[in-house]
């Protein structure tokens, strides 16, 4: 598409990129080192000085506690919301630094059409499926095995019948089929620890380079890592599931992806507990005292402190380790080992049908990894007419490229490259959208590297007396909505046991 054509398309850049800083600088009006001296620090909204101070261990002066609660939950993503939902009978306070609930999975709407900003689907055998039903959501079947677009050709059911139709020379197709056969013979449950401690690339050796390219496209979108840095057990399990899906697809979702779950949770909670939920609240310190935990946060430029009998940290560990005081060295080091990739989602909004060939389609060799059709699960409902064709392009990036998301010019360029690549995928796709929306996120997805699930995560989620740890990066082996919900429910059980003076629930052993 020419530059002139692109100039007429509206690009919308949304989403905060903290680049690892837990402080939203726009909320910081003043910070004091000494309350008596009332020394006010100058703050520039574009300056990372305070962020770097927090990163390096600077301690903010904590005002006296102005309120007391049973439980304070830090983080309003799916894990924090699920924890609050399970603690409705308690006096809880839920703190979220963003202006919206849902974290990295919340739904958006454009002229009545709902689309996702992350987290596409769940499986029927995941706990998230009955949980969705419990909160009043009926999961809708995907019923579409994953396709791929390779060399301009749409290959339906990639890992099923599609292997015979790959637009590669016969030896390459045979390599794909040989690899599938090898992976299907592996018992991941039996060999769990071994397989989750070695890289997936070990199993790709001796196979066609095109096979590695496909997985180096698939991995970053799902678990943040290419085959060289992926825990083998996770990738092998995923392939086995895809082969099974070619026969019976047990995935479910909604037009807003799994943002529908966070939207429903926030609606339920706000209906009865709105006074216990605070957005725009950036937590800067969590300090354990003898009989309580003090939580200090910034709201409207003011530092506030509340006290709680227990705290659930439903935040990514790169933030958690910087604001929770008194973490054991081993636990802090384990949290520091978790790596996160930048991961924008680009939504192409068309005012006519452009691409409706399948729910999730993989596109190796492009700036994005796969495209999801937003309204796929309601297209076949009686009386439904597609007003807008919204295509969500998942665009995981390398860790070193995070800086490109920090300003609007860089983010817009990423979105423009995604649009250009999409329009070249197949004949007939060179159509201009009415708008392009990019949701930029600096650290939404942790990398499922070898040893993370078996060695690191059991350490990071160990409770600290009255402080408990949730969030998707607590549970593993993959960053999912399901893991976030499970982490929340584990943390809630631990909190209830602590408050009741009962023995703590035992930690489950890692498979293998």
Distance CA 287, CA 295 (A): 7
Give pLDDT, residue 39. 29
Structural contact between residues 84 and 273, judged by C-beta atoms closer than 8 angstroms: yes
CA–CA gap between residue 61 and residue 319 (Å, rounded): 19
Residues 3 and 9: their CA atoms lie apart, in Å, by 10
* CB distance 179 to 205 below 8 Å: no
Nearest CA to 415 out of 404, 425, 424 is that of 404
pLDDT given at position 1:
52
Q: How far apart are CA 258 and CA 261, in angstroms?
A: 5
Task: Return d(Cα 471, Cα 465) in angstroms, integer.
Answer: 18
Q: β-strand 281-288 against 293-299: which pairing, if any? A: antiparallel
- Is 25-103+279-338+448-500 a domain of CATH 3.30.365.10? no
Structure confidence at residue 20 (pLDDT): 40
Domain ranges, ordered by start, for the chain: 25-103+279-338+448-500, 147-245
pLDDT of 505: 82
Compute the distance between CA of residue 369 and CA of residue 364 in angstroms, rounded to an integer: 6
Rounded-to-integer distance, Cα 6 and Cα 32, Å? 48
Mean pLDDT by 10 residues, the chain (512 residues): 68 71 38 32 31 56 94 98 98 96 92 93 97 98 96 96 97 98 97 96 98 98 98 97 90 95 98 97 96 96 96 97 96 98 97 96 98 96 95 97 93 97 96 96 95 97 97 95 98 97 76 46
- The model carries a pTM of 0.91
pLDDT of residue 256: 87
pLDDT of residue 57: 59
Distance CA 427, CA 325 (A): 57
Can you read off the two tokens belonging to residue 448? 């499922």
């Amino acid at each position: 598409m020419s530059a002139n054509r692109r100039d007429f398309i509206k690009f919308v850049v949304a989403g905060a990129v903290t680049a690892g800083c837990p402080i939203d600088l726009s909320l910081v009006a003043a910070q004091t080192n000494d309350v008596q001296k009332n020394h006010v620090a100058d703050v520039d909204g574009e300056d990372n000085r305070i962020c770097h101070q927090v990163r390096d261990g600077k301690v903010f002066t904590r005002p006296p506690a102005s309120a007391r609660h049973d439980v304070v939950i830090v983080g309003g993503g799916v894990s924090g919301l699920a924890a609050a939902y399970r603690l409705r009978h308690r006096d809880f306070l839920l703190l979220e630094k963003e202006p919206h609930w849902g974290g990295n999975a919340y739904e958006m709407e454009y002229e009545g059409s709902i689309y996702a900003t992350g987290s596409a689907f769940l499986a029927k055998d995941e706990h998230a499926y009955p949980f969705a039903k419990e909160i009043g959501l009926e999961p809708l079947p995907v019923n579409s095995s994953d396709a791929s677009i390779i060399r301009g050709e749409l290959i339906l059911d990639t890992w099923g019948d599609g292997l015979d139709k790959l637009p590669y020379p016969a030896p390459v197709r045979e390599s794909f089929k040989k690899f599938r056969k090898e992976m299907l013979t592996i018992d991941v449950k039996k060999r769990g620890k071994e397989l989750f401690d070695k890289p997936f690339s070990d199993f790709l050796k001796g196979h066609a380079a095109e096979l590695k390219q496909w997985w180096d496209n698939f991995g970053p979108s799902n678990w943040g890592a290419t085959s060289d840095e992926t825990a083998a057990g996770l990738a092998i399990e995923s392939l086995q599931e895809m082969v099974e899906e070619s026969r019976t697809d047990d995935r479910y979702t909604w037009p807003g992806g799994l943002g529908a779950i966070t939207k429903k949770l926030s609606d339920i909670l706000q209906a009865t507990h709105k006074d216990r939920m605070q957005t725009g609240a950036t937590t800067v310190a969590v300090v354990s005292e003898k009989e309580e935990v003090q939580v200090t946060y910034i709201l409207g430029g003011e530092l506030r402190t509340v006290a709680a009998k227990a705290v659930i940290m439903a935040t990514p560990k790169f933030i958690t380790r910087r604001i929770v005081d008194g973490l054991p060295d081993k636990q802090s080091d384990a949290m520091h080992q978790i790596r996160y990739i930048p991961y924008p989602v680009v939504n192409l909004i068309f005012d006519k049908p452009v691409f409706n060939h399948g729910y999730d389609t993989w596109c190796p060799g492009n700036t994005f990894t796969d495209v999801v059709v937003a309204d796929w699960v309601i297209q076949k409902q009686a009386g439904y007419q597609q007003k807008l064709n919204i295509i969500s392009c998942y665009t995981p990036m390398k860790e070193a490229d995070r800086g490109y998301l920090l300003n609007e010019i860089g983010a817009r360029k990423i979105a423009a490259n995604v649009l250009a690549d999409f329009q070249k995928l197949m004949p007939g796709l060179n159509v201009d959208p009415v708008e392009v929306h990019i949701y930029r996120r600096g650290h939404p997805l942790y990398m499922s590297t070898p040893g993370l699930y078996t060695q690191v995560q059991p350490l990071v989620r160990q409770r600290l007396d009255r402080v408990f740890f949730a969030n998707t990066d607590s549970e593993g082996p993959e960053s999912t909505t399901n893991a976030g919900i499970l982490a929340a429910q584990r943390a809630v059980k631990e909190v209830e046991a602590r408050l009741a003076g009962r023995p703590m629930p035992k930690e489950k052993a890692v498979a293998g």
